[in-house]
Structure formats: C-alpha cells, structure tokens
Amino acid sequence: MQQNRKVYHLDTNYLIYYFQNEAKVLSEIKQKYEKDNIKKAGDVVTRLISNGAELRISLIALGELIFLFMKEQERKENKTHLKFDFICKKLQSLNFILWSPQKEDLFKVKEFFNEIVNEKKEEDGFKDSYVKGSEDYLLIAMAYADKESNGFLTFDNDLINDDSINKFIENKNQDSEFRKRGFVITSDPG
C-alpha cells in the first residue's frame, strides 16, 4: 500500500448506487435507502477515488449484493438479466478491490467479531447465541482485520451509532497499532 493512501471497505448499500440503473434496481431497496444516500454514495466514492483512496469490497458484501439481485430477479420473474459475471465486470471497471482475509488474518476476524457480538450481548442483556445484526458485525470485523483499512463506509445509522461497535473501536484504538489507522465507521470520511 502506498503511504498515506486511505483504504475503506464498502457496505452493500454503497454498492447499490452503481447498480440502480442497470437493474432498474431493486424496488425494495429503493424504498429502504433514500435517494439522497444513493447520490451521496456516488459523490463520496468519486471523491475518494480521485484522492487516491482504495475501495474494497468483502466477499460477504458481494454475496449480499448478488443475493439481493437474485431475489429481485425472482420477484420480477427473471425479467432482470443480471449475471454474476456482469456484477464482477462492473465492480472491476470501477477499480474496486474484492477483498477477503488472508489465512493469518482469519483468527483476527473471528476475535474481532466475537468481541463485538459479546459486547452487544452484554449491552442488550442477551443470552442467545444469535445477535441481530451479526452479519453486519462480521463485515466490520473483516474491515478492521484488514491491516490497511481506515474504515467502513455505510449508510446504516444503526451501525454508525452502535455502542458495541464504538466501544470495540475505542478499546482497540488504545493500542498504537490500531490508533494510527484512525479507523471509522461512517457514511462519509470527509
């Protein structure tokens, strides 16, 4: 990685912006995410790339995107003809990096995920093994395990304002190795 270059992982809701025209996109997603956010995603991504940032997509976020398109295809009785190949080519043309943890980072992902989930269980008084939002916590754990990552971009305010996640980041940032990265969860890193 070049020195001073910023690296951000993207949530699925950032990816949706790029596919809205190709798919006449995802009626249920149009309702869920405000049009302002869809435009903002494009503006933020364009600005970050022009400033030399690297944008990474975890294989989990890619899987969520493909799943949403498959659901929409099913709903529209296969009138939308998006293929996995098309999605990959589109992402490649945008110079996004498909990212997955290296073998040596898998234990960090697991450790970070467990820390976030356990904090959430303690905060909410859960004793169950499943915590709502666990999939998103895994995306964040992966982004944090990426040693080059400066943050996770999402429009999900529940994640941005999640006490468990913020406490996790605050605790990790006590360590100088993590503090120097300035890791954030935000819709716009500025």
Same domain? 22 vs 78: yes
CB 58 within 8 A of CB 142: yes
Same domain? 115 vs 95: no
Q: What does DSSP assign to residue 153?
A: E
What digits encode the pLDDT tens for the residues 54-95? 999 998 998 888 887 777 666 666 555 556 667 777 777 777
Partners of residue 56 on adjacent β-strands: 9, 97
Domain that holds residue 95: 7-99
Same domain? 59 vs 21: yes
The answer to whether position 62 is within a domain reads: yes
Neighbours of 160 (CB within 10 A): 16
Q: What angle do CA 95, 97, 102 make, to 5 degrees?
A: 165
Same domain? 57 vs 72: yes
From first to last of the 190 residues of the chain, give the pLDDT tens digit: 456 789 999 998 888 776 664 554 555 555 555 667 777 888 898 899 899 999 999 989 988 888 877 776 666 665 555 566 677 777 777 778 989 998 888 999 999 988 888 888 777 666 655 566 678 889 999 999 999 999 999 988 888 998 889 988 888 888 777 777 889 999 999 8
pTM of the model: 0.83
Same domain? 20 vs 95: yes
DSSP secondary structure of 99-132: E---GGGHHHHHHHHHHHHHHHHHHHT--SS--T
Same domain? 169 vs 91: no
